[in-house]
Structure 1
Amino acid sequence: PRIDPYGFERPEDFDDAAYEKFFSSYLVTLTRRAIKWSRLLQGGSVPRSRTVKRYVRKGVPLEHRARVWMALSGAQAQMDQNPGYYHRLLQGDRNPRLEDAIRTDLNRTFPDNVKFRKTTEPCLQKTLYNVLLAYGHHNQGVGYCQGMNFIAGYLILITNNEEESFWLLDALVGRILPENIFRTWKLIHGHRRQAARELQGPAAGTGVSVPVSCVARLRTDSDSPFQS
C-alpha cells in the first residue's frame, strides 16, 4: 500500500519488495512481543518494573502504545484527577493571538499525511487545533511554539483520542522534556524577530547578518538565559 498505518504517504521510490521481505521476517519478532505485552497488561494496569522497562526499550506494539504511554508518563493519572478540565479549557476565554498562531501551522503539519488533509473526512486538523489551543490556555507561560504542532500531531495519530493527546503533551512539555525548553525557544525566536525588524531600519546595509545580531542581543540582554 502507498500509505502506511499512520497515514503517511510512501515516496514514489519506496521499495515495496524489500519492505515486504524485511517485514515478513520481522513479523515473528513483533508477534512474540505483542503476546508478551498482552500477557503483561492482562491485569488492567501498567506495572512499573524492570520487565516493563526492558519491554519498552524493545518497542511498544502499536495496539498498546497509547495505553502504555499514558500510564508511564503520568498523563493517565493527571487526566483521572482532573475530569472535565480539558473541555473547560476549550470553552474558556478566547485568545486571538494564540488562535492565529496555531491556525498558521495547521496546514504545515504533516503535509504528507492523508489524515491531516482538509479533503479527508474526518480531518485531524480540527483535533490538532483543539489540543494546541487547550494547551496554550493551560500553560500560558509557554502558549504555543512552532514545533509543538508536530509533537501533538504524532500523539493524536498514536492515541486517536483528543483528550489523551492533550495530557500526553502536558506530560512531555511539563515533566519529560528539559525544563523551560519552549520558553527558551520563544525567547530566542522573539530576539530574532526583533533583530530582523531593526535590520530593516537604519541598521540595514551595515553587513551585519540577522543571526549575528541575534547572538549579540542574547549575549547582552539581562533577561537572556545565556547570560553569564
Structure 2
Amino acid sequence: MAASGAQEQLESNPQYYQSLLAIEHDPKLKDTIDADIHRTFPDNVLFQSKAEPSLQKALNNVLLAYGHHNKAVGYCQGMNFIAGYLILVTKDEEKSFWLMDALLGRILPDYYKPSMLGLKTDHEVLGELVKVKAPAIGQLMDQFPGIWTLVVSRWFICLYIDILPIETVLRIWDCLFYEGSKVIFRVALTLIVHHQPEILRARSLGDVCTCFKEITCGAFTLDCHAFMQKIFSEPGSLSMATIERLREKYRQRILVEESGQS
C-alpha cells in the first residue's frame, strides 16, 4: 500500500470508494462484470457462491467501483483475476480498489483500455528484448508473425496469476508495486532465457505454444526465493529508459498500422 502510492490515495479520498458503489450502475458494465464473476478462481473455496462469506460480492463491488472510477477502461477480461487476487491478500475492498488503481492507472497504463495499446506495445518490446538477450530465440520467433501476442498475452494481462505458482506471483507483485512494470519483462525474459534449449527444439507454431506453457511449470518457478534472485540476474541489465524508448518506438508503429487499416 505504501510503495504503490495506494495508501496515500486512500487517505486523500475518504468515502470516495463508497460513493462509487452508491451511484446508479451502468447496466452494460454490470452485466459484463456479472458474466465473469463465476469464472474467477472457480477452484478457490472462498470465491464459490455458496461460501460463507463468499468473496464474489467483494469482487463485484471492487470491479464495479473501478469501472465507474476509470471510465476509459471500464471492465476488461483479466481484471477479475487481478481484483480477486488483491482481495485475497488484503481482505479489504477499499484497499484492493486503490491497489488496482495503482496497477491499472499508473504502473500498467493502457493495458486494459479497449484498444489494449499498452499490452500490444509490450508484446513487441519483449520481442525486441529477446533478440538482444537470446538472439537464437529471437530468430526462431521471427518465423511466426504475431507469435508474442499468442504466447505471452495471458502472462502480461493476468500479471502471471494462474500462470506461475501463487507464492511466486506474490513475490513478483511485491516487486511490481515497488519497481514498476519492468519487473514483468524481467520475469518473461528469465523464463525464456533459462529455457532456451527447450524452446529452440520447437519446429512448429504448435511446438512453440506448447513449450511456452510448459516453461512456467516445474521446480524452477516453484522455488519463489531462487526464482526471484534469477529474475534480477539472469536477464542481465534492463533499464526503464530502454523499455520506455522501445515502448515509444512500437507504440507509434502500432498506431500507424492501425490507422492504415481503418
The TM-score, its normalising length taken from structure 1, stands at 0.52
What does residue 4 of structure 2 align with?
Answer: 73
Q: CA deviation at 1:222?
A: 2.2
Q: CA deviation at 1:182?
A: 1.0
- 1:152 maps to which of 83, 89, 98: 83
Equivalents in 1 of 2:260, 2:86: separation in Å?
33
| CA contact 1:159–1:165 (8 Å) conserved in 2 | yes
What does residue 67 of structure 2 align with?
Answer: 136
| CA contact 2:110–2:117 (8 Å) conserved in 1 | no
- The correspondence of residues 190-201 of structure 1 with structure 2, limited to 5 A, is none
2:227 paired with 1:222: no
2:82 paired with 1:82: no
Count of matched residue pairs: 129
Letter in 1 for 2:8: A
Root-mean-square deviation (CA, aligned residues, Å) is: 2.8
Structure 1 residue ranges without an equivalent (≥5) = 1-69, 189-210, 212-217
What does residue 204 of structure 1 align with?
Answer: none
| CA offsets 1:115-163 (integer angstroms, 9 cap, x no match) | 0001110000000000000000000000000000000000000000010
Counterpart secondary structure, 1:142: coil
| CA contact 1:103–1:129 (8 Å) conserved in 2 | yes
Q: CA deviation at 1:186?
A: 8.6
Equivalents in 2 of 1:181, 1:165: separation in Å?
18
Counterpart secondary structure, 1:102: helix
| CA contact 1:137–1:143 (8 Å) conserved in 2 | yes
- The correspondence of residues 11-160 of structure 1 with structure 2, limited to 5 A, is 70-160=1-91
Equivalents in 2 of 1:126, 1:186: separation in Å?
31
Which one has a larger percent helix, Structure 1 or Structure 2? Answer: 2
Q: CA deviation at 1:92?
A: 1.1
Distance 1:99 1:80, change over 3 A: same
Equivalents in 2 of 1:82, 1:223: separation in Å?
42
Equivalents in 1 of 2:57, 2:260: separation in Å?
36
Q: CA deviation at 1:94?
A: 1.8
- The correspondence of residues 162-177 of structure 1 with structure 2, limited to 5 A, is 162-177=93-108
Letter in 1 for 2:259: S
Q: CA deviation at 1:185?
A: 2.7
Equivalents in 2 of 1:186, 1:105: separation in Å?
23
Equivalents in 2 of 1:125, 1:90: separation in Å?
15
| CA contact 2:17–2:65 (8 Å) conserved in 1 | yes
| CA offsets 1:14-44 (integer angstroms, 9 cap, x no match) | xxxxxxxxxxxxxxxxxxxxxxxxxxxxxxx
| CA contact 1:145–1:186 (8 Å) conserved in 2 | no
Larger Rg: 1
